[in-house]
Amino acid sequence: MKIIEGKWGFFRPSFDLAFFIQRGNYFDNRYAISFAFIWGYFYIKLPFRTKLGSGCDMPRYGMDNHSGCLWLYWGGKYDESYEQMESERLFTFDYPFINWIFEEHLIMNNNMDWQLVKDVDLKNITYTIKLPYTYTLKNGTVQERTATCYQEKRQWHRKWFPFLKKTKVSIEVTFSDEVGERTGSWKGGCISCSYEMLKDESMEQCLKRMEKERKF
């Protein structure tokens, strides 16, 4: 089911929990009310106008639920000269058992050990390899590049459950020149990226898999 829109506002068919009042919205200085009770999100414009301007970021009051967090809003500092919120008063709470809390970021060093990325000279201690990389554009043009790769690992745990962990190991890749369909354009091609590694996969194997699977 798609979002239903009208002059009165919109309805979004989704699971949510929210209730707050906005003193205007995106370049519209009418009050609006948003609410959702488990399923169905309503945004309704009210027939009352604020004394504020009509910027894109306006004061709001109430609670919302998204990104795995509870959000509480109670206004903030509004800059009348810019007709925008200068700062917003809010409080967020990460739901336990749902959110992942970041623990650490490590890189593979020259001794082939994981080392914590914190106040270290990555350029001199990181174990890197250089490999050829080939990418074929839609028009058949073949791009020959050199890929410089190193290995990193990030780890998280569930909030209130530190023994439930999630680990992501990936290669970080820097190309010798732009790669992809946007090469040479004002947007530019890709010059660096990351790619998640599979269990027991080497950096070379991961790069070759990325060469086959990834589109730029």
- Encode pLDDT of 174-208 as tens digits: 999 999 999 999 989 999 999 999 999 999 999 99
- Indicate if 110 and 207 belong to the same structural domain: yes
Place 120 in a pLDDT band, splitting at 50, 70 and 90.
low
- 58 and 112 fall within a common domain: no
> Do the Cβ atoms of 24 and 31 come closer than 8 Å?
yes
Per DSSP, the chain holds a count of helices (H) and strands (E) of 2, 12
**pTM value > 0.75:** no
Using the 3D structure, point to which of 94, 116, 146 is the last residue of a domain.
Answer: 94
179 and 160 in a common domain: yes
Whether residues 83 and 138 fall in one domain: no
Domain that holds residue 188: 100-213
Kindly state whether residues 161 and 179 are assigned to the same domain. yes
State whether 191 and 144 are in the same domain. Answer: yes
pLDDT of residue 202: 95
- Regarding whether 29 and 104 lie in a shared domain, the answer is no
pLDDT at 119 over 70: no
For residues 109 and 178, state if they share a domain: yes
The last residue of one of the domains, among 94, 112, 145, is: 94
Look at the chain and report how many structural domains it folds into: 2
> In 3D, which of 77, 39, 34, 81 has the Cα closest to residue 58?
77
Residue 71 and residue 106 in one domain: no
Same domain membership, residue 80 and residue 40: yes
Q: Give CA angle at 73 (68, 75), nearest 5°.
A: 155
Nearest to 156 by CA among 97, 95, 102: 102
Q: What is the pLDDT of residue 155?
A: 96
109 and 171 housed in the same domain: yes
Q: Is the dihedral of CA 46, 49, 55, 58 positive or negative?
A: negative
Give tens-digit pLDDT for 13-45: 888 889 999 887 777 788 899 999 888 889 998
CB 91 within 8 A of CB 72: yes
pLDDT at 122 over 70: no
Query: Within this chain, do residues 90 and 194 fall inside the same structural domain, yes or no?
Result: no
Structural domain ending residue among the three candidates 30, 64, 94: 94
